[in-house]
Structure 1
Amino acid sequence: MPTFTIVAGARPNFMKIAPIIHAIQKQQKNGKNLKFRLVHTGQHYDKKMSGDFFEQLNIPEPNANLGGGGGTQAEQTASIMVAFEKELMENPTDLVIVVGDVTSTLACSIAAKKLCIDVAHVEGGIRSGDLSMPEEINRMVTDSITDHFFTTSEIANENLRKSGFPESKIHFVGNTMIDTLIAQMPRFQKPEGAIFDGLEKEKYFVMTMHRPANVDQEQKLKAMIDAILEGTQGLPIIFPVHPRTAKNLQAIGIDAPNLHMCEPLGYLEFNYLVKNAKGVITDSGGITEEASVMNVPCVTLRDNTERAETIHLGTNELVGTDPAKLRPYLEKIMNGDWKQYQGIPMWDGKTADRIVSILMETYQ
């Protein structure tokens, strides 16, 4: 009986593992001999960033929590590697499944391969080309030791081919995060709180910002917020604030009546807001995917992206980190002159089924 260990560590991971778990459970109900063990590395340990996702996405409680949160990048990587090595030695497995590009993805891949255990990377092959991003290092190192790549796009496939990986390792299956989005859309719910009560459909913006290039320099952060406030012409802006951003916003004293800062939201609440927004302003990668599939205009405050398909076929535009370049994009959104979602191949809600079918054929 094949046994798979599925790793989740940070907020985006939970949306990506949920459909894989559900697809395995479906095969188990059909009488297939499959076992999985869910390991939470503890990289994000705030309830809003972790526990809520298990509840909302109907994921079982993890079999183990490694408690690997906190510390520097190196400290966190080391802590997770030590704990995950022990986990694998006590609970042997045929395959470790990692998702995305967070510290846990890198740490658990290395620990598994040093124990001669196969690694499958869900969302393998994506690249931004920006080595200043920790996530890019995580992607490159993880992919260099991966046995099975489950890819989201033809762009990712080509990146892997250029790196010399054989076609037999590359499985173009789609995007498990979109599986979750499609499955959960009927359950989206409006967040509770006074700042959400008066919101009207397509008459507000959703914003997220957390990357160092945007939030670590106080004057640049102030200039970006000012440009956003000007370009959105007084419409409400809902801004779930990452802890590092909150600290820096306090220092520069931003105060605008239409800028509504709030705690990080649950998955169902946040995507309710995105689905009904006039537009999204973000420096996140995953949100650009969700906004595109929901046909919501999205501007990305980054100089590069590892999700180019959201620009070519989705509703995303790469604006950069210069506040002066933002105005024409926001004008287009305000004027209703934005491109429409074209449909991204394989982003159809069936990715996890394809992944589990391949795993069942490979590990019989």
Structure 2
Amino acid sequence: MRRIHLIIAARPNLIKMAPVYHAVSRLDGFEVRLIHTGQHYDTPLSAQIIRELNLPQPDHNFAIGSGTHAQQTAGVMLAYEKLLREERPDLCVVPGDVNSTLACALTAAKQQVPVAHLEAGLRSRDMTMPEEINRILTDRISSILWTPSEDADTNLLNEGVDREKIFRVGNCMIDSLVTMLPTIRTLEPWKQVQCDRKGYSVVTLHRPGNVDSPDRLKAIVHTLITMARRTPLVMPLHPRTQARLEACSLLETLRSTEAIRVIEPLGYLEFIALVEGSQAIITDSGGIQEETSYLNIPCLTLRPNTERPITCTLGTNRLVDLDSLETAHAQAVGSRAVPRKPIPLWDGKAGMRIAKTLTDTFFHHEPTGYAS
């Protein structure tokens, strides 16, 4: 029996890991265990997403919570090292680029447990982003690199990674989206905020570069208020963003603007339904750039770079700065949607491809530890 640890730490990790869990769980001879580090600690919302994605409760939850990058990383490493002593897996699967991803990858690698990186090879070229550091280091110590797109393959090959470790499998977030889309399309969350379908835009911001600086955050708020004169804005408020807005005495300013609907964070299904019913989305999130590209919804990413450039070249994503945001938004909501060609392998079958790499390639021979 092969034991597989699937590491989850943040809500998007659940969405990425669900297709892997379901595909590998159907294989004979595999025991799949969900390990939640608790890096994101909104228990009710995480529990809701787990139910929506038909996942079991995690087998372990480290409940690490918030803290500095060093505190989170060290806390996860200590907790996971203890677990590895108690139940050694044959493979540790880590997703994306959060602190828990690197922490578990490092801990597993030092215990000679092979590591598989889901969403490998993505690069923003911005080393000021902690996520970029996490991605690069995790890729370097992984035995299996599951990539979502051709540009990710190219990044890894240019960094000298052995081609035999790279498997382009597609995008697991799209797997979850495809699976849940029939249910999503029965929901009408815009009615709860007194908006018409295709009569509003969605705003979701949480990156430190946008919300940690009081001056930057104030400028964003003022720009959003101006934009709301043209189109109502619905803003599910990330806990980090809410804390920063409160600290800067800006939250009431937003809430008192009639055309801006500030709401609590939504579950996965309701949030995607809200996005699909919108004219456009303004974000700094990574996964939303992918989901909107699949849904053909204009996405304005308030960042100078993206680790998902394929969403700009083949999808509906556009990088914008604060000075151009209002104009770009007016163009996005004022133009007719242009059907996009599907992004290769973003077809709802990435989880099955991942399972196939395990049965046909990696576990076809006895693993001997992580590859340097």
Same fold, TM-score > 0.5, yes or no: yes
Name the structure 2 match of 1:257.
258
Corresponding residue to 2:85 among 72, 76, 89: 89
CA distance, structure 2, for counterparts of residue 163 and residue 186 of structure 1: 40
SS class of match (2:108): helix
Name the structure 1 match of 2:292.
291
CA distance, structure 2, for counterparts of residue 37 and residue 220 of structure 1: 42
**Deviation for aligned residue 1:279:** 0.5
Partner amino acid, structure 2, of 1:19:
P
* Deviation digits for residues 145-178 of structure 1 (CA, Å, limit 9, x no counterpart): 0111000010000000011011100000100010
Name the structure 2 match of 1:205.
201
**Deviation for aligned residue 1:363:** 1.2
CA distance, structure 1, for counterparts of residue 330 and residue 230 of structure 2: 13
SS class of match (1:50): helix
CA distance, structure 2, for counterparts of residue 38 and residue 219 of structure 1: 41
Partner amino acid, structure 2, of 1:91:
E
Name the structure 1 match of 2:121.
125
SS class of match (2:311): helix
Corresponding residue to 1:138 among 123, 127, 134: 134
* Deviation digits for residues 297-348 of structure 1 (CA, Å, limit 9, x no counterpart): 110000000000000000000003xx22112211212312555432110000
Name the structure 2 match of 1:226.
222
Partner amino acid, structure 1, of 2:314:
L
Whether contact under 8 Å (1:123, 1:150) holds in the other structure is yes
CA distance, structure 1, for counterparts of residue 228 and residue 293 of structure 2: 20
- Unmatched tracts of structure 1, length 5 or more: none
Whether contact under 8 Å (1:315, 1:339) holds in the other structure is no
Name the structure 1 match of 2:22.
22
Whether contact under 8 Å (2:36, 2:60) holds in the other structure is yes
* Deviation digits for residues 238-261 of structure 1 (CA, Å, limit 9, x no counterpart): 111112211332313333101111
SS class of match (2:26): helix
Whether contact under 8 Å (1:232, 1:334) holds in the other structure is no
Partner amino acid, structure 1, of 2:113:
I
SS class of match (1:76): helix
1:349 aligns with 2:348: yes
Whether contact under 8 Å (1:48, 1:264) holds in the other structure is no
**Deviation for aligned residue 1:218:** 2.4
Name the structure 1 match of 2:358.
359
Please give the TM-score of this superposition, normalised by the length of structure 1. Answer: 0.94
Please give the TM-score of this superposition, normalised by the length of structure 2. Answer: 0.92
Name the structure 2 match of 1:171.
167
Structure 1 residues 10 and 284: CA distance shift in structure 2, 3 A? same
Whether contact under 8 Å (2:124, 2:132) holds in the other structure is yes
Name the structure 2 match of 1:11.
11
Q: Show the 5 A alignment for 1:31-46.
A: 32-46=28-42
Name the structure 1 match of 2:369.
none
1:67 aligns with 2:63: yes
* Deviation digits for residues 191-246 of structure 1 (CA, Å, limit 9, x no counterpart): 76x97252211101111011122112223222223223333544321111112211
CA distance, structure 2, for counterparts of residue 77 and residue 191 of structure 1: 39
Q: Show the 5 A alignment for 1:261-280.
A: 261-280=262-281
Q: Show the 5 A alignment for 1:150-165.
A: 150-165=146-161
Report how many residues are paired.
Answer: 357
CA distance, structure 1, for counterparts of residue 169 and residue 162 of structure 2: 16
**Deviation for aligned residue 1:356:** 0.6
Identity in percent: 43
CA distance, structure 2, for counterparts of residue 313 and residue 259 of structure 1: 31
SS class of match (2:305): coil
